[in-house]
Amino acid sequence: MSKRRLPPLNPLRNFEAAARRGSFVRAAEELNVTPVAVSRQVGVLEDYFGKPLFVRHANTIALTDHGRALLPSVTTALDTLADGARRLRAATDTPVVVCTYQAFAMHWLIPRMRGFTAANPEINLNLTTANTPEEFEQARADIVIKYGHAPQAGHDARPILPDIVMPVCSPALRDGTHPLPPASNLAAHTLLRARYRRLDWPSWLAIMDAQHLVPAHELTFRESGLANQAAAEGLGVAIAQRLLVHEALADGRLVMPFETALRRVDDIWMSWRADRADDAHVARVRDWIAAEAGDTVAGFGIDYRPADFDAPRAVTLPVAPA
């Protein structure tokens, strides 16, 4: 293939602007340069072709026959280039849609997003939340983070986090009139729970051989984050997912009164659309989430392997966060 011979591109751009605007001054305003610079660039193009492209008068310019013959092809070429750049920007600006539970988004994903967006300013993240299978389906997300190993249709998936729950409360409540432990003292406290996590308290109490315990009161919240916040305010004892209370444990707003935690059967899985699996932006978001999940599990102080059991089991966690 013969080498493509092109006229100098910046002079072409100056020539087209001057011809379209009918003035070196107005072309200079559009290109944010001086009229002298526009005239000089046009001169470079005239030297390249060996033909005058404009007739210059005191305050006006007019295209020569050579200039009129050249202009349509230059305009078409620049329009084609501008359209290609627009389409490329539009493709690059396509957001990566991530869908997960509201509490997970608020207390795990969002606190980690600042570092990712700073390192990847070209990637637009669109974060949405859901609770029910129908809501997850309707989100049509590129990446989904939720419980259970059955991915949505058209998605590939892998487990990334264990679902571990344990009681948490304020330090004052732990050390108060009815201190914790023992677990039997929970009968004197208000137990806090989330609407979509109704089995967490019964399951944890069962592994503590306290399944018949009747608490003084119970409060139910729509979201886990609200129940955890209520616990930090001293309203009672919440049954919390370990991964959602790391910061509150680290700064002392919440404490773990018991070493025994409950690992549920369903891990937390990340799935992604198979038809966008090779998209560079989707892959980068997916790899970032997986890396953050690995760091999170390391902070639990346990070795993580995907659940291969069919009943909840007890695990021992460090009372102080790692």
**Residue 149 in this model has a pLDDT that exceeds 70:** no
More confident residue, 16 or 133: 16
Residues 6+ apart with CB under 8 A from 116: 123, 125, 285, 288
**Residue 152 in this model has a pLDDT that exceeds 80:** no
d(CA 32, CA 129): 45
Q: Which of 56-70, 83-97, 142-156, 201-215 has the highest mean pLDDT?
A: 201-215
More confident residue, 209 or 7: 209
Q: Of 260, 272, 263, whose CA–CA distance to 243 is shortest?
A: 263
Domains detected in the chain: 9-92 (1.10.10.10), 94-322 (3.40.190.290)
Share of the chain above pLDDT 70, in %: 95
- Region of 139 (left: φ > 0; alpha: ψ -120 to 50; beta: rest) is alpha
d(CA 42, CA 74): 13
d(CA 321, CA 312): 22
Residue 320 CA, distance from chain mean position: 29
pLDDT of residue 319: 64
Residue 84 CA, distance from chain mean position: 28
To the nearest 10°, the Cα dihedral for 2, 7, 9, 14? Answer: -160
**Residue 229 in this model has a pLDDT that exceeds 80:** yes
Render pLDDT for 92-124 as a digit per residue (tens, 0 to 9). Answer: 567 899 999 988 998 899 999 989 988 988 888
Q: How confident is the model at residue 322 (pLDDT cuts 50, 70, 90)?
A: very low
What is residue 106's DSSP assignment? I
Q: How confident is the model at residue 321 (pLDDT cuts 50, 70, 90)?
A: low
Render pLDDT for 234-263 as a digit per residue (tens, 0 to 9). Answer: 999 999 999 899 889 989 999 999 999 999
